[in-house]
Chain A
């Protein structure tokens, strides 16, 4: 432990032990425990207690106090647990009878403070830390702790109940592991006493007629099989499987959700990959006994498994397909559409659920769509994957929702009425539809997909969130259709879609909702990034008003939209698709865009658009955009000048990124794996370097970078430091500090930098000469600075010493300021 902390500890312990002192806030006590945990992980707890007797004194004092605050009591319990995790320290605390006092029946358990959930939680967490060695097991058994933990499983606080279950699992595992050293697993009834007690309790709970008790048992088992993968878990399952299976005979099945979690936890456990133990049979029965809504998560979990009986997979997939099968059958008049579960008789339970109430129907469909969406991209998804009927079902659902479906059955009519305008289902179906773009689908269905997506994008009833998802799905389908076309040009069909799409996009770019305008711009950006080079796309885009509208949105009242417009217009411009409002075809419009962006960079009151401009400029510079390439120096100089005083540090950081790209272009690329690498393989030749440095001086890059080095926002300073290190290493052979260091130019520069470092950034650097820059580069301790900047900006305030001092200092003023908030 740090000596300074050791010095402060007695005073802090005295404060904590004094009931008259108001208790500091919870976060301090939590952070204090974090620190103790870190310290005890690195050094001996026993030694720490011996060197800092105040800690044991605090614990014994807390025990004696009757009116100790619940926060301090809870803290003490957790602290004692952290110390007692090491066996020798546990023995040491045992000698002083401290542990029985804290965790035994005579401790907080019997006090009024036990009614406070924090204290019960502290008791559990303390025991959880403590239970690390065999002595702890004896301790728990001797002091009746296990029974208390059993009762805490049903605690009124979710946090306490959950922690109690976790603790039981922890103890069970410890008990089994302590014994397992000489045994491969329990044989017959030969379980260690502690484990036997816990398993017996679980068995009893599984027999119970009350659902909460069954739930508790199932939750403990779920955690056990999730965490413990030793052979004994197999024996445990063999013992409990019949009891779990018995739950399926009850009506209704108790704690169905927890039962599903348990079964998934067991089937995922590696220990069962080789043996069965009746597991698959129980799972199959569960699948058939549970309601469609309850069975969904189990089915998807099974289908995600790498190894599992084929029949069970088919059964599970059937569970997921059934709701969509019902949907397809409800639209029975669609000719030639393949069904999802051909030959299978309609499941009446499924139909009942879909018909019973709107919320049941919506819930089931949303869950099913989400499960199938989750499954679709996985390599272990069922094969053959019924892409076409699934697509048909998704389209049908979307049509039910927008009222364009013409169902032939009464079920269809009912679904139409239930799903009309249901945003939840629309969102889920659009997500699923987007995901289905990854597969190969018949052209006829693809046509339907585009038709329904266009309808959604056109519909005045579509909500902003639905529109966003419709745009996303449309993008995925457009990109995938180009991929499947297999040639460089877009398919005829895609071109037709684009022709219809751009008028819709135009309309959406004028939407009164900023969310919609923004989603439309994002869509445009992605599309032009991918298809900017496609002649058909270019033709369709330039034939529409879209580029002009995107330009107009640079003046949007909403900052988010302006930023998206900057990105979109910047992207269009990179692809030569840009159009100014006045003259779409004329090259001078390009110049207009650059000044428009510079105007945004200097004038926009919000950071997002300014950041977006910097990103576009950096990309332009990197890609050699025509406007930039014709006078790169002038471009860089102007941009740096405009943004160097920006109030948003992310804009300044982006400015450094631009400076780095510029440097890389004139000096050679930095290591791609480590752009700011200190050690570079090769330095530039001296003649070139002088020229380069002169260029950098001309664009006033050093003024900006050195200023950034002492920026009050650390990421900026760090980035600047990395950039200077890159530059210094590149210029190393030219640098002669002895000669250059004495020049009057460098002396005044050094003085200015000193002032900047002290926070006085008013004075400019003035005109610089390359020699002076080289001298400065050599004289600044950039490595030292880099080391310092690599730390968190508040690392001093977050240190343990600072925490202890704060806690001590707060004591005297707490009452004065009282607890306050925003």
Chain B
């Protein structure tokens, strides 16, 4: 029985490191290869030993697909390809291929900075890993091998994020990665065609939430930044090098322009140029508004945002600084935070999630006295704000996507169990499809019924048309008889004559026979005549003949009357017919068994 098997190694009932194994028509595909930033040891990576059990990775896996550049989706990739030993192809979109190494490098530097972080990949490994990447365009069908093909669809969420359709023959799976069904300031909404996959694997981060408009959060953000700089305070926004940083930069740039503000905005990593280069390069991946205005003004060329120099942090007066890393766990953002934390006029805005073990996590959980090295205590007097700018589809958006793709089944990943449970019920009720939510390590097996293409010979179609006399209707199934033959791995339905001819076989007749006993004292010839006239009166549309040898025929059915060897008052009717007239033969037999009508006396 053909089947599709799905086993999450990560993202099964959690929002951690996404890594989902899909087995479809004998092909094995890994969807995403993410890292959990909350761990400092091997637990940060998915447990690949469950794949290595199956022999060499490169032999077992046909390909790896990365949905977007966030580390919880691609962070384990260099480890997987350069340290665990996967040497096969990796597919991702062009922007993801360009941006992925920047973030991996960004994180590697932090990991190296923290000593004791063993088993981490090097810069060379990131490069070698990226050389194995095959970049794909949206809606381009990419042939991984003769049987396996993949196709990317726009997912919103972040620049270059894609949903992937994986197809082998007539079976297909769609993996959404992270997606957003509403356009935001720089990206459009996710879209997929009515591809009717056997299975849709969708993220479910906001499975139970209907998110308010991002506009409100943006307004709130701008208001807070503005108020702080107005009162002479400094604003620190810890970010990762690429992604949310650019979104917030656009926001501030536009606001500064509109309000004619002069307060300096700095971006600390020196990556702005590179980031902007990518946004310019991949302008087609942004939303319509940005693309339209691109000719007059490039949204990613910032007039007000300047490169940061470390000495600027000590300058008096207000300023806004974007600094990496995003969780205040090392480097420059942490250094600036330490400098500014003691002043209540200042503010730190955390625009994303922080894992435990970082200063970002501490201040978000309300801790205001932070222990520093040498028994020093840092008192945090500055204001601490949290604003989630993550762009995921909410419950409504997920339902919308399911409706759009029309899958046979749905599987939820990248969410919390309780929330998934709710959404699962909703999907099952509304779309009448099965919905699954496996935990990490659990395998969901879906039986599939593969459609096997069969060609029909023109002769048979013409014959059928001539007999039925009707033109075929597209949506109305019709029964068609023929002989199924397989030649050169192709199946064809042909007429039996043609099949015999093509296969070089002689025809053998198979006849069904039956004896019917009739109580009739008359001679055999007379009985036969009675049978003839009886059948002629009933079967008006058929050709009923009385042959000179005394037998009666109806189409291929032959009826002969004979005397009973022991009982002269009984006649035996020998009825025989071919396979083609099976229906009529059975009918006639049952008719004769009821007896003949009384002859007029």
Residues of A within 8 A of B (CB): 24-28, 30-31, 116-118, 156-160, 162, 257, 297, 358-359, 363, 366-367, 370, 423-424, 427, 464-465, 468, 515, 518-519, 559-560, 605-608, 611, 645, 647-650, 712-715, 759-762, 788, 790-794, 796-798, 801-803, 805-807, 809-810, 812-813, 817, 819-822
Contacts and interface: CB of A to CB of B under 8 A. Distances in A.
Interface in B315-340: 329-332, 334-335, 338-339
B313 interface: yes
Contact of A712 (B47, B332, B361): B332
Given A27-B36, A28-B356, A713-B330, A793 B390 contact: no
B115 A792 contact: yes
Nearest to B271: A605
The dominant DSSP class at the B interface is loop
The 8 closest A-B pairs by CB, nearest first: A27-B38, A159-B441, A712-B335, A809-B365, A762-B311, A647-B270, A157-B441, A158-B441
Contacts of B366: 809, 812-813
Contacts of A802: 357, 362, 371
A648 B39 CA distance: 25
B286 interface: no
B315 to A, nearest CB: 8
Interface stretch (B49-57, B464-472, B531-539, B560-568): B49-57
Interface stretch (B106-114, B296-304, B454-462, B592-600): B106-114
Contacts of A607: 105
B26 interface: yes
B334 A712 contact: yes
Contacts of A605: 270-271, 273-274, 277
A819 B338 CA distance: 27
8 contacts: A465-B132, A759-B314, A794-B114, A797-B358, A820-B353, A820-B388, A821-B72, A822-B178
B367 A162 contact: no
B440 A797 contact: no
A525 to B, nearest CB: 13
Contact of B115 (A30, A162, A519, A790): A790
Given A162-B50, A713-B113, A797-B329, 12 more contacts: A158-B7, A359-B147, A363-B59, A370-B58, A370-B59, A760-B314, A761-B311, A761-B314, A792-B117, A798-B40, A809-B367, A821-B353
A645 B416 CA distance: 45
B309 A645 contact: yes
A26 B331 contact: no
Nearest to B277: A605
Nearest to B442: A157
Contacts of B70: 822
Nearest to A431: B87
B439 A117 contact: yes
A116 B442 CA distance: 11
A805 B356 CA distance: 11
B311 A821 contact: no
A822 B55 contact: no
A158 B339 contact: no
A464 B131 contact: yes
Contact of A759 (B117, B335, B417): B335
B115 A793 contact: yes
B127 A518 contact: yes
A822 B116 contact: no
B43 interface: yes
Contacts of A366: 58-59
Contact of B352 (A30, A559, A649, A822): A822
Interface string B119-144: 00001000100111000000000000
User: Considering residues A27, A761, A762, which has the most beta carbons from chain B within 10 angstroms of its beta carbon?
Assistant: A27
Contacts of A794: 114, 329-330, 357-358
Given A158-B7, A797-B358, A798-B357, A715 B56 contact: no
Given A607-B105, A793-B114, A759 B339 contact: yes
Interface string B54-94: 11101100000000001110000000000000011100000
Which residue among A714, A796, A822 has the maximum number of chain B CB atoms within 10 Å of its CB? A822
Contacts of B36: 27
Interface core residue of B43, B87, B205 (most chain A CB under 10 Å): B87
Contacts of A31: 356-357
B578 interface: no
A662 to B, nearest CB: 24
Contacts of A807: 356
Contacts of B193: none
B355 interface: yes
B113 A813 contact: no
B362 A822 contact: no
B442 A358 contact: no
Contacts of A822: 70-72, 178, 243, 352-353, 390
A793 B327 CA distance: 14
B504 interface: no
A158 B40 contact: no
Contacts of A424: 58, 88, 145
B15 interface: yes
A792 B114 contact: yes
A760 B335 CA distance: 10
Nearest to B361: A806
B113 A158 contact: no
Contact of B364 (A24, A25, A157, A813): A813
A160 B441 CA distance: 8
Contact of A27 (B26, B56, B355, B417): B355
B269 A649 contact: no
Contacts of B329: 794, 797
Contacts of B362: 797, 802, 805-806, 809
B386 interface: yes
B338 A606 contact: no
Given A649-B109, A759-B313, A821 B357 contact: no
Contacts of A160: 441
A121 to B, nearest CB: 8
Contacts of A810: 356, 361, 365
B310 interface: yes
A156 B367 contact: no
B112 A715 contact: yes
B151 to A, nearest CB: 20
Contacts of A760: 314
B314 A359 contact: no
A608 B130 CA distance: 14
A592 B122 CA distance: 32
Contacts of B507: none
B477 interface: no
Contact of B338 (A370, A715, A759): A759
Given A117-B439, A158-B442, A820-B390, A25 B356 contact: yes
Tell me which of A297, A560, A803, A820 has the highest count of chain B C-beta atoms within 10 A of its own C-beta: A820
A618 to B, nearest CB: 16
A806 B442 contact: no
A796 B123 contact: no
A257 B331 contact: no
A367 to B, nearest CB: 6
A755 B441 CA distance: 54
B548 interface: no
Given A761-B310, A809-B362, A820-B352, A796 B371 contact: yes
Interface in B428-454: 439-443
A160 B361 CA distance: 31
A817 B87 contact: no
Nearest to A606: B274
A97 B15 CA distance: 37
Interface in B1-59: 7, 14-16, 26, 36, 38-40, 43, 47, 50, 54-56, 58-59
Contacts of B547: none
B15 A819 contact: yes
B331 A797 contact: no
B356 A806 contact: yes
B390 A821 contact: yes
